[in-house]
């Protein structure tokens, strides 16, 4: 990624021209992604990510992640989405990138792809926040029974972890709203 991305990304979200430049650059990356993936396929079969193949440095990822996070904090999900999706495309193993992309999709009412992306966050292990968010998406789509199961699973995961006490309460409230009483 060009050095200017790391430099410009530090200015987000205050500088509108900087945001527009990063979003435009990430949209171009996403438009050319099929060609990049096709060219990268042989190396990817041996476990290399697109980011590794393109020679992206950790500071590039971190600068872009910080930019997407700042945009999300400012509730500018439309602008954060291309950055987050580019991060996922280049380093799909980083759960932070999957989670922020899924969050953008959810906040833009794109519940089906958001639920799928939150589902990817739990492949490597338990992730109660991702399961909770996936359940929210399922409920928004009207998939009540799968939503109930996901809220219940997140609730149970939170039970043994003090740092998730607040999330456990949110799960219990969601279960009550869906018509299932659940003891906290």
Strands of the chain, DSSP E: none
Do 7 and 96 share a domain, yes or no? yes
Do 164 and 113 share a domain, yes or no? yes
Angle between helices 58-73 and 95-107 (to 10 degrees): 30
**Domain range for 2:** 1-108
Among the three residues 56, 85, 108, which one is the final residue of a domain in this structure? 108
Q: Tell me how far the alpha carbon of residue 28 is from its chain's centroid.
A: 20
Do 115 and 101 share a domain, yes or no? no
Whether the CA torsion 28, 32, 34, 40 is positive or negative: it is negative
Q: How much is the pLDDT for 151?
A: 96
Among the three residues 42, 74, 108, which one is the final residue of a domain in this structure? 108
Do 125 and 97 share a domain, yes or no? no
Q: How much is the pLDDT for 58?
A: 81
- The pTM of this model reads 0.74
Distances (CA, A) of 81 to 104, 107, 157, 169: 6, 10, 29, 29
> Tokens 């639920």 appear where?
115
Q: How much is the pLDDT for 11?
A: 43
Do 125 and 87 share a domain, yes or no? no
> Tokens 């003090």 appear where?
162
| Short-list 117, 122, 77, 83, CA closest to 98 | 117
Q: How many CB atoms lie within 10 A of CB 178?
A: 16
Output the six-digit token pair for 123.
């492949």
Angstrom distance (rounded) from CA 176 to CA 162: 21
Across the 184 residues of the chain, what is the mean pLDDT of every consecutive 10-residue run? 41 54 64 59 63 78 93 95 90 92 95 92 89 96 95 92 94 89 44
Q: How much is the pLDDT for 45?
A: 57
């Amino acid at each position: 990624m060009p050095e200017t991305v790391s430099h410009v990304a530090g200015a987000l979200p205050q500088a509108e021209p900087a945001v527009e430049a990063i979003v435009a650059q990430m949209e171009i990356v996403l438009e050319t992604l099929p060609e990049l993936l096709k060219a990268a396929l042989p190396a990817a079969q041996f476990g290399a990510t697109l980011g590794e193949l393109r020679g992206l440095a950790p500071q590039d990822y971190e600068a872009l992640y910080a930019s997407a996070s700042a945009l999300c904090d400012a509730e500018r999900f439309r602008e954060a989405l291309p950055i987050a999706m580019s991060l996922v495309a280049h380093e799909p193993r980083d759960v932070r990138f999957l989670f922020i992309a899924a969050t953008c999709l959810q906040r833009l009412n794109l519940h089906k792809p958001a639920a799928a992306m939150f589902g990817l966050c739990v492949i490597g292990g338990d992730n109660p926040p991702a399961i909770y968010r996936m359940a929210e998406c399922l409920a928004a789509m009207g998939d009540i029974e799968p939503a109930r199961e996901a809220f219940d699973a997140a609730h149970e995961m939170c039970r043994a972890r003090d740092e998730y006490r607040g999330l456990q309460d949110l799960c219990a409230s969601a279960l009550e709203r869906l018509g299932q009483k659940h003891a906290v």
